[in-house]
């Protein structure tokens, strides 16, 4: 019983059927001869109206049908056929309702509707059939397809040929689209047939291209290799067709024949591309060797030579789908046979692991902005993600397992699941999501036959509704479509976890599994490809972390697949996993820890990155695992201001009476602050200047706590308030706020007796306090030590630890040598009596910024000291060029240049009066004391060396005087300075270059 | 294991090879060899063979000196002179040097060339070279400093019946061909005892390997015939020296990028910029193309040695010569650089020639007008007027020009750059300290 048997009015009926404007619809239906007086003219007409209503866009379908009936020579014949044949009705309505472009084609070629009659569903056109049809369209012999300069040659030429081929192509497309929209073919079959049609089109275009050759053109064989989706037989309705051209002279041609054959073949290939672009789609030959820069056509040998020598890993990835699709198929097959073994050996190539990692990052890379969320192809969780990930696994496992080498994504996914390389459930879900996304993409493109992967904007309801209906939804289509899309998107989004990492857990699971499991060898191969150096050990850690049924094991099993990816992205994945296990063992089932990892967004990712990048962080965390909570947010990781730190440290010191325990507590706090700065540094939240300042503040806070404690202790011992004021001055890097992770704290102690206190007594008290400060901070404790170095004081180790202000003044007045003046350049107040520190600095101003600069003899002395240090202070056995501080062009070189300029000019140039290196360097440049180019060179070298020094400490866990010349630590340093993985050679080269240039400036400016 | 590696292992079995020599060169281009048994080769392919880098000129300091030599199976050859009847044979492969962490060693001259070729490939070019290696055959190696004696007194293209040099060239070429090295041309050179062997053009890495092999083969064959072969740039004060004129071409895919039929010299824009680059940077790279104290005695000896920076069409006195174009052979368009001598390190030499040329292309340097005349016959003033600058006159000068060259530093990498300069400064200082027979002969009688 039809809907028309109800008593509804015609108008209501049309609205219920889904037409948007009943009055116009009724008029159009009347024009089509299907409607009269608010009802269908007869029962079969009713069926036609119902069929028109049941398509993606009923209004569009009807409008196109009306236009078609006006153009078709025998409208009543068409009407009759529609009435009598339900399949034709469904197909024609379906095509017209899904595709405006095919509607236009039918209007232009009205008799083409006949294509939709008959047993279309039972007969799939063969690749040969399609080829014969399209060759016939350009009047070429379909039995001998062109193979270069041989085989069929088109009878039509130029625009006539293009027009005929386009019409024939559209006719084939029409038949396919009709079966597609009526559900007679699967998504895979559509992709396959489109690829066959592309091959046939190329073949016919080649036959046309032959007509453009001059008579004298040298003979050649030409093969067209389908790459990408055309090669994988998963082509879209409209997309670029990726190809590579291979040519050879015919058998028996002389040695000169190659050049001539290549010329002809290049001409043919270019012409073929032009014809195809005019007929259907652009042909993209960009995947050829050397890409756009390389010649369009090469010989087999030339291809082979290129792939042997120059090709990148991603090029082999592209070759995975190579398949001869037109031209000389024997030559095409020879090409595939040549390159195929190379594809599967790519895993043995140098740099494969790095390339795989780079490719994997590309998989995970997301497009920015609003378009990303509407992209079905390139967006996060889009088609490209699935395809890339599948190819990657094929490259890793296809080396040893020939059963996973299909060029078609869905087939390959099935193969990978069957081999246990991917979880069966995950594969099934992904397959389903992929099919859905491809269906959406097909329907999007079918509408106007345009190459698009962009979903309609959320406010374009009409377009969204049409798309949803085209995909097959009915009813509340917008909601259903939205829900499905979210579901499938979710499925694909955590793709790398599912495809790459989750199967690794099955390899170590003890549970009896129904499904195929990743074999241990395959698990090891994959871990190795992901960058784990000791896969067997990693598997044991995985097993320990995930075995059992505890809440912890369950949460970790869920987290680990993602965390493994993050470990793999960092310099030392093995160390990361090992450290994670030790943190996890220490914190065990602590509820906040598991909650933090599970719920706090990026905390788990940050933890993984830090543990696999920095031994320093891993060691600190191993001693104080509870500090993991710092990772919860950026706010926790921001360095705390000096004042906050100092008051926190000092108040801890005041709370206790056990002096040692007090300082141990303060040092514990320091450890946490170091961790905070290190994490922020490694996560890129701080620049290098901020790191130096933050570490200097932490050192100051600890010293403040130690000074407070020492003062209280000495006071307690003397049982009365101390009649002396004490200040601590920062020197060296600490003075310049350039403190590093492993730096000593360079200081000077200065004191002043209260009125009426004998100098000797004051000196003795100050010495006790200073000594106590050093002792307390040097007590053995499980934290990185802070060595308080007071050796820059007058008379060095022989001199008293603290001096009175007047004693300093007298000393500098009488004895001071120029290196002491130089050291004082970096003096700055640190802790203790600020007023006293200020007076100290006033007192030494004439020493460090001498009026008129130091005498020439002093300048000579500085140069001599420097030259002697270069000879004597170089660590034994090291490559001097890699010694960060004392090496040529290293930190000391630059600092001495700057300090000499300060000594000479600070009396006149006020901006030079700063304890920090870079501000002083820039001031010297601005004052015209250094050429801008020289200043740049010095700044570059100093910054690089300073960053390298800090980074080396973070990576190794302890400081080092020189860069290693190779290895993982160097890799880690290079990465933390922003180099790609495994670029330690490039980094060292850059480092040597920067320091070589700096050294040249030093020779000229400092010694010159 | 890839197919080439499998091929190597199979060949070892089939031909009963008992030793495999792994070859590489130090920074100066001296051949180094380590022999391993075939059983160790599989491991060598996978992990490399460890050695002490500090023992090799320019590789590493004493600390952290472990390095790995990884054989390149594409260079596998059986050594013909060790292949007597039925006796077990010896084969060789060139190695790439890596650090213990598997990354390439930046001290390895092969890596220097590979990087330069990689940069060319990024620009879409492959680099081909064709070296003409000159050398002397001496009756023996005089060890007491007396003048050497050449094996014959013949001259250019002379055919000497039953001469040593003829047998020698025949044997040497046979061996080279048996090692897969095609010899284009061989003849007696101008000076007594002087020979020339031209290798067929091939990609620069293969030719550099081949130059090393050729030098070694020639020395071996000479030994077997009781004579001594030398690649010393200038063994005789009064005879021409031994150069290694090198023909260069760039290809873009299958097309010769140097060819342009429309240009009077058939030189494309690419070729013109390339030549301009070679000229512009010629002085900077001389310390490498002519790396010994002795090299400068050849360079400044007149005749076909080219110490003035200029180019000329088919002009054998110019630094860069554009050979006469052979009709219908666009593939063979090329240019010839005439400064390198036979004692250069071909890896570094080719890398720098390429880098200088590429720099010219990148920066679009304009080619100066060509030199028509024999440059030697021009007066100093004429040369100055025509803008022809001289190449460095001595190793010391060459070093000081190279020191300031960012192009050379970048191409060689800082490690090789630094080592090379240190080594050459030391050589110059040692030379300067020497009191020569020249001084004794000239000054002792009169002063």
Which pLDDT band, with edges at 50, 70 and 90, does A367 fall under? very low
Residue of A293, A877, A985 lying closest to B62 (CB–CB): A877
pLDDT tens digits for A382-406?
Answer: 787 788 888 888 887 887 788 888 9
Smallest CA-to-CA distance from A896 within A875, A932, A937, A865 is with: A865
What integer pLDDT is reported at residue B116 of this predicted model? 96
Phi/psi at A957 (nearest 5 deg)? Answer: 95, -15
Residue of B100, B101, B253 lying closest to A294 (CB–CB): B253
What integer pLDDT is reported at residue A557 of this predicted model? 79
Identify the sign of the CA torsion A333, A339, A341, A343: negative
What integer pLDDT is reported at residue A366 of this predicted model? 47
Region of A295 on the Ramachandran plot (φ > 0 left; ψ -120 to 50 alpha; else beta): beta
Tell me how many degrees the CA angle B258-B260-B265 measures, rounded to the nearest 5. Answer: 85
Residues making up chain A, counted from first to last: 1008
Which residues of chain B register pLDDT less than 50? none
Contact A996 B61 (CB under 8 A): no
What integer pLDDT is reported at residue A368 of this predicted model? 47
pLDDT tens digits for A967-1005?
Answer: 889 999 999 998 988 888 899 999 999 999 999 999 999
CA–CA distance, B248 with B357 (Å, rounded to integer): 10
The conformation of residue A405, written as its DSSP 8-state character, comes to: -
| Chain A residue closest in CA terms to B328 | A256
Q: B409 contacts in A (CB within 8 Å)? A: 993, 996
Smallest CA-to-CA distance from A191 within A13, A442, A433 is with: A442
Smallest CA-to-CA distance from A264 within A324, A333, A210, A202 is with: A210
CA–CA distance, A148 with A249 (Å, rounded to integer): 10
CA–CA distance, A201 with A281 (Å, rounded to integer): 10
CA–CA distance, B111 with B108 (Å, rounded to integer): 5
Q: Give mean pLDDT, residues A846-859.
A: 90
| Chain B residue closest in CA terms to A965 | B64
Region of A872 on the Ramachandran plot (φ > 0 left; ψ -120 to 50 alpha; else beta): alpha
Residue A322's H or E segment, with its range, is: none
What integer pLDDT is reported at residue A320 of this predicted model? 87
pLDDT tens digits for A269-327?
Answer: 999 999 999 999 999 998 888 777 778 999 998 888 888 877 777 778 888 899 999 99
Cα–Cα distances (Å) from A582 to A306, A579, A589, B231, in that order, read 48, 5, 13, 63
The runs of H, that is alpha helices, within A186-328 are: 187-210, 228-231, 257-279, 300-309, 313-319
Q: B99 contacts in A (CB within 8 Å)? A: 965-967, 985
CA–CA distance, A712 with A29 (Å, rounded to integer): 101
DSSP sequence for B153-204: ---TT---TT-HHHHHHHHHHHHHHHTT--EEEEEE-SSTTEEEEEEPPEEH
Smallest CA-to-CA distance from A833 within A821, A825, A824, A841 is with: A841
What integer pLDDT is reported at residue B230 of this predicted model? 94
Smallest CA-to-CA distance from A429 within A391, A386, A388, A468 is with: A386
- Expressed in percent and rounded to 5, the helix, strand and coil fractions of chain A are 65, 5, 30
Q: How is residue A883 written in tokens? A: 């010694």
Say whether pLDDT at A12 is over 90.
no
Contact A966 B415 (CB under 8 A): no
Cβ atoms of residues B90 and B20 within 8 Å: yes
Cα atoms in the 13 Å half-sphere on the side-chain side of A148: 26
Smallest CA-to-CA distance from B342 within B112, B113, B136, B110 is with: B136
Which pLDDT band, with edges at 50, 70 and 90, does A514 fall under? very low
Q: Dmax of chain B from CA atoms?
A: 72
Contact B101 A341 (CB under 8 A): no
Strands (E), B272-331: 308-309, 311-313, 320-322
What integer pLDDT is reported at residue A664 of this predicted model? 81
pLDDT tens digits for A324-341?
Answer: 999 999 999 999 999 888
Torsion of CA A353, A356, A358, A361, to 10 degrees: -130
The runs of H, that is alpha helices, within A116-237 are: 127-137, 158-181, 187-210, 228-231
Cβ atoms of residues A888 and A881 within 8 Å: yes
Phi/psi at A740 (nearest 5 deg)? Answer: -105, 180
Say whether pLDDT at A5 is over 60.
no
Q: Give mean pLDDT, residues A906-914.
A: 94
CA–CA distance, A400 with B317 (Å, rounded to integer): 59
Q: A308 contacts in B (CB within 8 Å)? A: 74
| Chain B residue closest in CA terms to A311 | B121
What separation, in Å, do the N-terminal and C-terminal C-alpha atoms of chain B show?
A: 71
Arithmetic mean of pLDDT over chain A: 86
| Lowest mean pLDDT across A314-318, A615-619, A868-872 | A314-318
Contact B103 A289 (CB under 8 A): no
Rg over alpha carbons for chain B, rounded to the nearest Å, is 22
Domains of chain A: 10-116 (no CATH), 518-632 (no CATH), 702-848 (3.30.460.10), 857-1007 (1.20.120.330)
Contact A293 B252 (CB under 8 A): yes
A362 Cβ contact list (under 8 Å, min separation 6): A388
Residue A596's H or E segment, with its range, is: helix A591-599
Say whether pLDDT at A550 is over 80.
no
Query: Could you tell me which residues of chain B have a Cβ less than 8 Å from any Cβ in chain A?
Result: 1-3, 60-64, 74, 99-101, 103-106, 121, 123-124, 126, 203, 252-255, 330-331, 409-410, 413-415, 417-418
Q: B124 contacts in A (CB within 8 Å)? A: 290, 293-294
Contact B414 A996 (CB under 8 A): yes
Residue of A290, A877, A982 lying closest to B103 (CB–CB): A982
Q: How many CB atoms lie within 10 A of CB B170?
A: 12
Contact A966 B255 (CB under 8 A): no
Strands B228-230 and B126-138: antiparallel
Say whether pLDDT at A365 is over 60.
no
Q: Is B249 helix (H, G, I), strand (E, B) or coil?
A: strand
Residue of B74, B103, B417 lying closest to A984 (CB–CB): B103
pLDDT tens digits for A703-752?
Answer: 999 999 999 899 988 888 889 999 999 999 999 999 999 889 999 999 99
CA–CA distance, A161 with A276 (Å, rounded to integer): 11
- pTM score: 0.72
Share of chain A above pLDDT 70, in %: 94
Say whether pLDDT at A688 is over 80.
yes
Shortest distance between the Cα of A865 and any Cα of chain B, in A, equals 25
Q: How many CB atoms lie within 10 A of CB A341?
A: 10
Say whether pLDDT at A363 is over 60.
no
Residue of B106, B121, B331 lying closest to A989 (CB–CB): B106
Select the more confidently predicted residue: A491 or A86: A86
Phi/psi at A457 (nearest 5 deg)? Answer: -65, 150
CA–CA distance, A898 with A862 (Å, rounded to integer): 12
CA–CA distance, B364 with B270 (Å, rounded to integer): 9
pLDDT tens digits for A48-78?
Answer: 888 888 888 988 999 999 999 999 888 888 8
Contact B99 A965 (CB under 8 A): yes
Residue of A259, A298, A964 lying closest to B253 (CB–CB): A298
A139 Cβ contact list (under 8 Å, min separation 6): A154, A155, A156, A164
If you search the block for the tokens 């998107």, which residue do you land on?
Answer: A489
Query: Could you tell me which residues of chain A have a Cβ less than 8 Å from any Cβ in chain B?
Result: 259, 262, 289-290, 293-295, 298-299, 302, 308-310, 341, 345, 348, 877-879, 881, 964-968, 970-971, 982, 984-985, 988-989, 991-993, 996
A702 Cβ contact list (under 8 Å, min separation 6): A649, A666, A667, A669, A670, A777, A786
Residue from B103, B206, B326, B328 whose CB has the most chain A CBs within 10 Å, to mutate: B103
Which pLDDT band, with edges at 50, 70 and 90, does A359 fall under? low
| Cβ-count burial A260-292 (b if 16+ within 10 Å, e if not) | bbbebbbbbbbbbbbbbebbbbebbbebbbbee
Share of chain A above pLDDT 90, in %: 41
CA–CA distance, A735 with A745 (Å, rounded to integer): 9
Which pLDDT band, with edges at 50, 70 and 90, does A965 fall under? confident
Select the more confidently predicted residue: A355 or A742: A742
| Lowest mean pLDDT across A122-126, A346-350, A564-568, B298-302 | A346-350
């Amino acid at each position: 019983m039809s809907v028309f048997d109800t008593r509804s009015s015609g108008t209501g009926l049309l609205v219920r059927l889904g037409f948007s404007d009943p009055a116009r619809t009724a008029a159009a239906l009347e024009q089509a001869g299907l409607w009269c007086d608010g009802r269908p003219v007869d029962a079969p007409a009713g069926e036609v109206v119902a069929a028109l209503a049941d398509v993606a866009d009923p209004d569009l379908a009807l409008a196109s049908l009306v236009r078609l009936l006006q153009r078709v020579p025998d409208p009543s014949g068409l009407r009759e056929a529609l009435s009598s044949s339900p399949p034709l009705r469904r197909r024609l309505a379906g095509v017209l309702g899904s595709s405006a472009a095919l509607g236009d084609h039918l209007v232009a070629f009205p008799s083409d509707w006949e294509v939709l009659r008959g047993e279309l569903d039972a007969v799939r056109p063969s690749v040969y059939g399609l080829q014969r049809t399209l060759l016939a369209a350009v009047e070429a012999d379909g039995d001998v397809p062109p193979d270069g300069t041989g085989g069929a040659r088109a009878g039509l030429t130029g625009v006539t040929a293009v027009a005929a081929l386009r019409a024939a192509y559209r006719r084939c497309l029409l038949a396919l689209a009709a079966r597609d929209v009526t559900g007679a073919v699967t998504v895979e079959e559509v992709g396959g047939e489109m690829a066959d049609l592309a091959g046939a089109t190329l073949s016919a275009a080649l036959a046309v291209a032959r007509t453009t050759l001059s008579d004298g053109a040298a003979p050649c064989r030409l093969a067209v290799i389908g790459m990408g989706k055309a090669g994988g037989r998963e082509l879209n309705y409209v997309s670029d067709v990726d190809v590579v051209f291979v040519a050879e002279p015919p058998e028996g041609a002389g040695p000169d024949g190659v050049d001539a054959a290549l010329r002809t073949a290049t001409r043919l290939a270019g012409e073929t591309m032009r014809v195809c672009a005019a007929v259907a789609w652009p042909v993209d030959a960009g995947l050829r060797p050397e890409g756009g820069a390389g010649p369009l056509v090469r010989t087999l040998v030339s291809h082979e030579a290129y792939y042997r020598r120059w090709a990148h890993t991603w090029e082999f990835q592209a070759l995975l789908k190579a398949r001869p699709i037109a031209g000389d198929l024997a030559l095409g097959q020879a090409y595939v046979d040549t390159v195929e073994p190379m594809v599967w050996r790519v895993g043995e190539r140098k740099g494969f692991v790095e390339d795989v990692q780079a490719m994997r990052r590309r998989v995970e890379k997301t497009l920015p902005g609003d378009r990303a969320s509407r992209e079905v192809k390139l967006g996060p969780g889009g088609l490209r993600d699935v395809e890339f990930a599948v190819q990657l696994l094929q490259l890793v496992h296809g080396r040893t397992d020939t059963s996973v080498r299909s060029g078609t994504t869905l087939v390959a996914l099935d193969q990978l699941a069957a081999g246990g390389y991917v979880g069966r459930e995950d594969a099934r879900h992904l397959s389903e999501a992929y099919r859905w996304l491809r269906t959406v993409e097909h329907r999007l493109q079918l509408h106007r036959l345009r190459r698009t992967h962009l979903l309609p904007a959320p406010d374009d309801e009409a377009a969204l509704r049409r798309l949803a209906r085209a995909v097959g939804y009915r009813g509340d289509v917008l909601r259903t479509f939205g829900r499905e899309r979210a579901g499938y998107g979710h499925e694909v989004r955590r793709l790398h976890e599912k495809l790459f990492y989750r199967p690794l857990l099955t390899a170590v699971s003890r549970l009896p599994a129904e499904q195929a499991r990743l074999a241990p060898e395959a698990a090891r191969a994959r871990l190795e490809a992901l960058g784990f150096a000791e896969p067997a050990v990693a598997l044991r850690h995985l097993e320990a972390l995930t075995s059992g049924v505890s809440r912890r094991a369950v949460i970790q099993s869920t987290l680990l697949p993602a965390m493994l990816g993050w470990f793999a992205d960092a310099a030392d994945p093995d160390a990361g996993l090992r450290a994670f296990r030790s943190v996890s063992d220490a914190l065990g089932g602590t509820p906040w820890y598991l909650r933090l990892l599970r719920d706090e967004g990026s905390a788990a990712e940050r933890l993984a990155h830090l543990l696999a990048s920095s031994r320093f962080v891993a060691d600190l965390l191993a001693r104080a695992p509870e500090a993991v909570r710092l990772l919860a947010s950026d706010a926790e990781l921001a360095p705390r201001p000096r004042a906050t730190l100092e008051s926190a440290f000092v108040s801890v010191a005041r709370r206790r009476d056990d002096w040692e325990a007090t300082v141990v507590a303060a040092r514990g706090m320091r450890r946490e602050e170091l961790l905070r700065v290190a994490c922020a540094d490694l996560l890129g939240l701080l620049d290098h200047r901020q790191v130096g300042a933050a570490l200097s503040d932490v050192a100051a806070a600890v010293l403040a706590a130690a000074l407070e404690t020492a003062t209280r202790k000495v006071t307690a011992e003397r049982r009365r308030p101390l009649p002396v004021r004490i200040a601590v001055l920062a020197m060296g890097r600490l003075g310049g706020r350039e403190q590093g992770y492993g730096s000593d704290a360079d200081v000077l102690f200065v004191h002043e007796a209260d009125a009426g206190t004998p100098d000797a007594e004051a000196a003795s008290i100050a010495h006790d306090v200073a000594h106590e400060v050093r002792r307390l901070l040097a007590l053995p404790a499980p934290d990185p030590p802070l060595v308080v170095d007071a050796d820059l004081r007058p008379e060095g180790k022989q001199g008293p630890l603290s001096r009175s202000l007047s004693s300093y003044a007298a000393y500098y007045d009488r004895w001071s040598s120029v290196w002491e003046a130089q050291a004082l350049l970096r003096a700055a107040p640190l802790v203790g009596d600020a007023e006293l520190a200020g007076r100290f600095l006033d007192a030494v101003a004439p020493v460090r910024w001498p009026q008129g600069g130091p005498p020439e003899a002093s300048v000579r002395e500085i140069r001599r000291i420097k030259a002697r240090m270069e000879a004597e202070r170089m660590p034994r056995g090291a490559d001097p060029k890699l010694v960060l501080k004392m090496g040529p062009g290293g930190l000391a070189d630059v600092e001495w240049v700057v300090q000499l300029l300060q000594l000479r000019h600070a009396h006149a140039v006020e901006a030079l009066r700063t304890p920090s290196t870079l501000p002083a360097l820039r001031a010297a440049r601005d004052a015209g004391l250094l050429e801008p180019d020289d200043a740049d060179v010095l700044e570059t070298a100093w910054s690089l060396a300073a960053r390298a020094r800090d980074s080396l400490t973070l990576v190794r866990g302890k400081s080092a005087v020189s860069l290693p010349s190779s290895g993982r630590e160097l890799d880690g340093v290079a990465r933390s300075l922003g180099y790609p993985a495994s670029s330690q050679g490039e980094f060292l080269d850059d480092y040597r270059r920067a320091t070589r240039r700096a050294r040249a400036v030093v020779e000229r400016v400092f010694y010159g | 294991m890839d197919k080439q590696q499998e091929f190597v292992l199979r060949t070892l079995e089939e031909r009963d090879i008992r030793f495999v020599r792994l070859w590489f060169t130090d920074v100066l281009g001296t051949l180094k060899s380590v022999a391993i048994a075939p059983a160790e080769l599989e491991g060598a392919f996978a992990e490399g063979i460890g050695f002490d880098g500090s023992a090799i000129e320019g590789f590493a300091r004493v600390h952290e000196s472990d390095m790995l030599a990884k054989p390149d199976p594409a260079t596998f050859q059986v050594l013909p002179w060790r292949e007597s009847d039925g006796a077990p044979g010896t084969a060789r492969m060139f190695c790439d040097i890596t650090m213990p962490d598997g990354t390439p060693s930046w001290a390895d001259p092969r890596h220097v060339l590979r990087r330069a070729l990689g940069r060319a490939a990024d620009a879409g070019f492959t680099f081909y070279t064709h070296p003409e290696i000159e050398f002397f055959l001496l009756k023996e190696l005089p060890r007491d400093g007396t003048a050497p004696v050449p094996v014959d007194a013949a001259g250019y293209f002379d055919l000497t019946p039953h001469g040593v040099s003829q047998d020698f060239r025949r044997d040497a070429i046979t061996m080279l061909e048996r090692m897969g090295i095609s010899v284009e041309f061989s003849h007696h050179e101008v000076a007594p005892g002087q020979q020339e062997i031209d290798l067929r053009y091939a990609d620069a890495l293969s030719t550099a390997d081949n130059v090393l092999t050729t030098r070694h083969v020639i020395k071996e064959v000479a030994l077997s015939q009781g004579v001594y072969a030398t690649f010393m740039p200038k063994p005789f004060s009064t005879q021409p020296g031994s150069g290694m004129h090198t023909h260069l071409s760039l290809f873009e895919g299958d097309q010769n990028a140097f060819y342009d039929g429309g240009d009077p010299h058939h030189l494309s824009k690419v070729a013109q910029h390339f030549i301009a680059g070679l000229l512009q940077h010629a002085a900077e790279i001389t310390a490498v193309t002519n790396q010994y104290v002795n090299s400068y005695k050849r360079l400044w000896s007149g005749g076909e040695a080219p110490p003035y920076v200029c180019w000329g069409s088919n002009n054998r006195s110019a630094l860069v010569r554009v050979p006469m174009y052979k009709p219908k052979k666009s593939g063979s368009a090329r240019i010839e650089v005439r400064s390198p001598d036979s004692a250069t390190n071909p890896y570094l030499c080719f890398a720098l020639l390429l880098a200088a040329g590429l720099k010219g292309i990148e920066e679009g340097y304009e080619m100066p007008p060509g030199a028509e005349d024999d440059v030697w016959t021009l007066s100093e003033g004429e040369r100055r007027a025509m803008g022809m600058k001289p190449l460095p006159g001595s190793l010391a000068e060459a070093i000081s020009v190279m020191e300031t060259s960012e192009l050379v530093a970048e191409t060689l990498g800082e490690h090789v750059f630094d080592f090379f300069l240190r080594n050459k400064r030391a050589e110059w200082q040692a030379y300067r300290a020497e009191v020569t027979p020249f001084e004794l002969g000239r000054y002792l009688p009169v002063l």
